[in-house]
């Protein structure tokens, strides 16, 4: 598969997804049994939703749809006939299809689906799949033309190819065997792929992919190839003319090839496009793709992410221009090392904060802990001064006003001020669960819950350094941004943070709508020792600062 006019696929995909005005949605057909799933082959233009897990154990599966060329020319060979390909939609609705078995050494375009065209399928798990064939063979889709395959999770997949008259280009993969002008997004493949001598284009996610982009895909398993093979990769065998490979990861993979094999890479066997626009083949850009524990067992090739560009003398002689010159591809990372380090730390911080939090200062300044305060202060300033110093420390962070009201009361703080460390905007408790942060009101009801993503390192007035996060939820209001200091219950027995709608104002200390406010929390499941520890820490830090000022 070497060339196709891009605009044909773009328009077709827009029509299939209802983007162009006038596209209508047919009545959705719901599937709950293996028989109903097989019956999809009777209406290849229908729209389907899976409403139950399906077990195909004991069934000799006939792939849904079939590949037939739309004409005799080279380009028409790449365009499947509409009457035989699946052109409807299939939403797996998060369900699982188990124990798929497709047997037959001569199969062309073989998988759960044989051939899909100008459509989208996905959102399901395929578990325990075993598929055989000769050309364009995969557990999920044999041939994807101008289509999107999304959110498919392949578990314990197996693809076995056999040599035949048409098997030289092969195209074998766990998710998609051959892809033309398509997208594979959010798919995870755990599979073993076995191909014979003299074949090509094999990978654990995709096999032979032309102008087919991949994003957010992972692969684990193995590819085992015979002699005189080419295009072997952990994610895909071929990425020719793929506009993008983004955030794809190959991990715990073994690539084993025989003699006289070439174009072998941890991510893809070969890839690239042409910088000359007339060749209509985009330069492939690899962004944030990684390989971890990928073993290449071969006397030829290496363990680079990409085995090579699509060019050698045989290719040049066989196909002529533009294939008589090497393709171009680019490997890059979207983040600089230091930025990546900050992002990792920010992500880890959210994980470390998992739990429910009460307001800190109402807890630690309760009368029950007065003796702890006195003892901690007496150890530094003596018993006579301890009561006054303890009350001053508690008062410093027990303020009840912030923003303009606090500015009016305290000015720039040079003559003394109080910090409001309570939860504002109606929050009684905060719940951290990874990237999701929720607020509970005084009635014990969750009244907001947002997913936050790291934005950048930030600092309040250059004194308190932490991380800024943001939610994309449009209704977040004063919870749109979240600023976290790096304190955790495991390190400081409490947490400190701010939230609001104006990130620049959030970084001001004694000015703006958040002046003299910094929320502080303590785990709701705390024990007495944690309370004592946080009082000890608060006194030690602040009294040390007082001693330093006195010494100065």
Contact yes or no for 321/395 (Cβ under 8 A)? no
Q: Angle 137-139-142 (CA atoms, 0-180°, nearest 5)?
A: 40
Distance CA 182, CA 88 (A): 15
Split at pLDDT 50, 70, 90, the class of 334 is low
Residue with tokens 């390192």: 457
Residue with tokens 């497709």: 102
Tens of pLDDT, residues 392-424: 888 888 889 999 999 999 998 878 889 999 999
Distance CA 236, CA 194 (A): 14
Q: What SS3 class is residue 252?
A: strand
Residue 141, both tokens: 């889709």
Domain boundaries in the chain? Answer: 6-334, 341-551
Residue 131, both tokens: 């598929």
Looking at residue 524, the DSSP 8-state letter turns out to be T
Lowest mean pLDDT among 176-185, 321-330, 418-427: 321-330
Backbone angles phi, psi at 515, to 5 degrees: -55, 140
**The pLDDT value given to residue 22:** 36
Beta strands in 441-545 (DSSP E): 446-460, 464-471, 481-484, 495-500, 519-523
**The pLDDT value given to residue 432:** 97
Query: For residue 150, is the peptide bond before it cis, meaning its omega torsion is within 30 degrees of 0?
Result: no
**The pLDDT value given to residue 342:** 84
Residue 122, both tokens: 């996905």
Task: Give the homologous superfamily in CATH for domain 341-551.
Answer: Calycin beta-barrel core domain (2.40.128.20)
pTM here? 0.58
Contact yes or no for 194/174 (Cβ under 8 A)? no
- Cβ atoms within 10 Å of 6's Cβ, excluding its own: 16
CATH class of the domain defined by 6-334: mainly beta
Please indicate whether the domains covering 6-334 and 341-551 agree at the CATH topology level. Answer: no
Percent of the chain with pLDDT over 70: 87
Beta strands in 134-246 (DSSP E): 135-138, 141-145, 148-161, 172-173, 176-180, 183-185, 188-195, 200-203, 206-210, 213-215, 218-225, 230-233, 236-240, 244-246
Backbone angles phi, psi at 141, to 5 degrees: -135, 125
Tens of pLDDT, residues 213-263: 999 999 999 999 988 899 999 999 998 888 889 999 999 999 988 888 888
Contact yes or no for 259/229 (Cβ under 8 A)? no
Residues in the chain: 552
Distance CA 232, CA 221 (A): 13
Q: Is the dihedral of CA 362, 365, 369, 373 positive or negative?
A: positive
Distance CA 166, CA 170 (A): 8
Contact yes or no for 435/470 (Cβ under 8 A)? no
Given a cut of 60, whether residue 301 has pLDDT beyond it is no
Given a cut of 80, whether residue 306 has pLDDT beyond it is no
């Amino acid at each position: 598969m070497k060339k196709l006019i891009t605009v044909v696929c773009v328009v077709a995909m827009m029509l299939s997804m209802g983007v162009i005005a006038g596209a209508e949605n047919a009545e959705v057909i719901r599937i709950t049994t293996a028989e109903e799933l097989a019956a999809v082959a009777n209406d290849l233009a229908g729209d389907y939703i899976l409403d139950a897990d399906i077990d195909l154990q004991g069934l000799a599966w006939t792939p849904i749809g079939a590949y037939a060329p739309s004409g005799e020319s080279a380009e028409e060979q790449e365009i499947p006939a509409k009457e035989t390909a699946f052109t409807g939609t299939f939403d797996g609705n998060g369900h699982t299809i188990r124990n798929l078995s497709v047997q037959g050494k001569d199969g062309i375009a073989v998988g759960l689906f044989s051939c899909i065209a100008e459509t989208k399928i996905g959102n399901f798990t395929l578990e325990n799949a075993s598929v055989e064939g000769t050309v364009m063979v995969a557990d999920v889709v044999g041939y994807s033309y101008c289509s999107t395959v999304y959110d498919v999770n392949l578990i314990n997949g197996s693809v076995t190819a056999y040599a035949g008259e048409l098997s030289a280009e092969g195209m074998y993969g766990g998710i998609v065997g051959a892809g033309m002008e398509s997208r594979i997004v959010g798919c995870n493949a755990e599979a073993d792929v076995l191909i014979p001598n003299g074949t090509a284009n094999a990978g654990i996610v995709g096999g032979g992919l032309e102008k087919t982009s991949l994003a957010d895909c992972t692969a684990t398993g193995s590819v085992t190839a015979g002699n005189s093979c080419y295009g072997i990769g952990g994610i895909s065998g071929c990425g020719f003319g793929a506009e993008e490979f983004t955030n794809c990861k190959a991990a715990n993979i073994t690539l084993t090839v025989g003699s006289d094999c070439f174009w072998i890479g941890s991510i893809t066997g070969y890839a690239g496009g042409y910088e000359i626009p007339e060749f209509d083949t985009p330069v492939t850009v690899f962004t944030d793709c990684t390989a971890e524990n990928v073993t290449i067992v071969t006397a030829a090739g290496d363990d680079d992410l990409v085995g090579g560009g699509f060019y050698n003398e045989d290719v040049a002689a066989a196909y002529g221009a533009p294939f008589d010159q090497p393709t171009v591809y680019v490997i890059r990372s979207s983040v600089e090392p230091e930025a990546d380090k900050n992002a990792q730390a920010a992500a880890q911080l959210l994980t470390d904060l998992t739990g429910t939090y009460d307001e800190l200062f109402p807890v630690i300044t309760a009368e029950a802990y007065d003796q702890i305060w006195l003892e901690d202060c007496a150890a530094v300033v003596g018993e006579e001064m301890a009561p006054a110093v303890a009350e001053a420390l508690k008062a410093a962070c027990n303020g009840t006003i912030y923003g303009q009201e606090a500015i009016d009361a305290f000015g720039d703080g040079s003559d003394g001020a109080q910090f409001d460390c309570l939860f504002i905007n109606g929050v009684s408790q905060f719940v951290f669960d990874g990237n999701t942060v929720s607020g509970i009101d005084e009635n014990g009801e969750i009244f907001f819950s947002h997913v936050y993503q790291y934005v950048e390192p930030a600092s309040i007035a250059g004194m308190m350094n932490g991380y800024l996060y943001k939610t994309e939820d449009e209704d977040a209001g004063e919870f749109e941004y979240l600023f976290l200091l790096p304190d955790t219950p495991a390190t400081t027995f409490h947490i400190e943070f701010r939230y609001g709608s104006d990130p620049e104002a959030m970084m001001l200390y004694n000015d703006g709508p958040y002046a003299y406010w910094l929320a502080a929390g303590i785990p709701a499941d705390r024990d007495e020792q944690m309370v004592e520890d946080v009082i000890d820490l608060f006194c030690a830090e602040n009294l040390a600062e007082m001693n330093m000022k006195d010494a100065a």
